[in-house]
Amino acid sequence: MAITNWLKKAGSFFTSKKAKKSEDGRDQWPSRTAFLLASVGGAVGQGNIIRYPSQVFNNIGLQWFIPYLIAIFILAIPGLILEVSIGQAYRGGTIVAFNNVNRRTRGTGLASIFVSSVVVVYFVIMAVKLGVLCEILILHSILVWIMIYFRHSFTSPLPWEGRTEEFYYQQVLRQVDPIPGIIENGSVQRFASYPDLSLIGETVGWSAFTWFCVWLCMYGGVSTTGRAVYFTMGLPIIFTIILIGRCTSLENAGRGIKLYFATWNGEQLSNPDIWQTACGQVFFSTGVGFGYYIAYASFNAKYANAVQDAIILV
């Protein structure tokens, strides 16, 4: 009975209020904060939490921030202003908006959808129990794997303590030993005879749960999403602060911070790789080019301050 009441309260939280309407009849975000949080939620993820620190570490020193900041001002801010402005002015998702700009630019909108679809499949996908072939086929279910680690994090001692790789391959990927010669011989017959070729039950379950949460947060439109983002963005911010506090309290943490902010390797600036890496990281860090800023901004007021919103988001 208590569970039923809780579900009713949770449902009423998402459905109790209808979305506001703009002058053209299009749904509108409950508030500017909801739009900003939803937009930040699209950009902040593994690209920032995991990929960005690794890129900084691979290019140790303050010199990394020179090409990165230049890319922010030359690529990210203008691109973000453009996306938010197009969404607000042409009142539609990326395909509709670019089609309204000019039908010849419809392909630009389709390209954004394609890129976003590839990333979504990469982050949430039902992995197949293929052992080492799972690595070869790059069926990486990142969010699902996070949930698997989350479930195991309630056990003590942690099951991956002292056996990180073994836990990953055996408990997460459920890797099995291949038949001798199967990797060398690429025939269909040998592939079909790969041992234990099946879906991983836990992976499928967590994948379904993840997609259900995605549906729950968006089925009611921006009214639902505008309320969900306070939780989906608030909680990660709290966890990130806790994680940073924990990391800075570890032994020799000061040495790591010094590598980030007190080291200078100016000769690296003559290497084109650091410029290429910085420009690529900017797209991961800000989310420019994926098209969701256009879709989100289409639910803003038509004459909202797009430039100010873009600068806040960066």
Delimit the domains of the chain by residue range: 27-115+221-314
Residue 130 has pLDDT above 50, yes or no: no
Angle subtended at Cα 41 by Cα 8 and Cα 64, rounded to the nearest 5 degrees: 160
Q: What's the confidence (pLDDT) of residue 136?
A: 30
Residue 9 has pLDDT above 70, yes or no: no
What average pLDDT score do residues 85-104 get? 88
Q: What's the confidence (pLDDT) of residue 289?
A: 84
Mean pLDDT taken over the chain: 77
pTM: 0.73
- pLDDT tens sequence across 178-211: 555 545 555 545 554 555 566 777 888 888 888 8
Residue 70 has pLDDT above 90, yes or no: yes
Q: What's the confidence (pLDDT) of residue 187?
A: 52
Least confident residue range of 123-132, 196-205, 297-306? 123-132
- Cα(142)–Cα(21) distance, rounded to whole angstroms? 37
What average pLDDT score do residues 199-224 get? 82
Q: What's the confidence (pLDDT) of residue 194?
A: 54
Amino acid at 44: V
- In three-state secondary structure terms, 112 is helix
What average pLDDT score do residues 294-303 get? 87
Residue 268 has pLDDT above 90, yes or no: no
What average pLDDT score do residues 50-74 get? 84
Q: What's the confidence (pLDDT) of residue 179?
A: 54
Burial class of 122 by CB neighbour count within 10 A (0 to 12, 13 to 18, 19+): middle
Question: Look-up: residue for tokens 């290497």?
Answer: 271
Q: Is the omega angle on the peptide bond into residue 67 within 30 degrees of 0, that is, cis?
A: no
CA distances from residue 210 to 44, 268, 308 in whole angstroms, order as listed: 18, 41, 33
The pLDDT-based confidence of 41 (bands split at 50, 70, 90) is confident
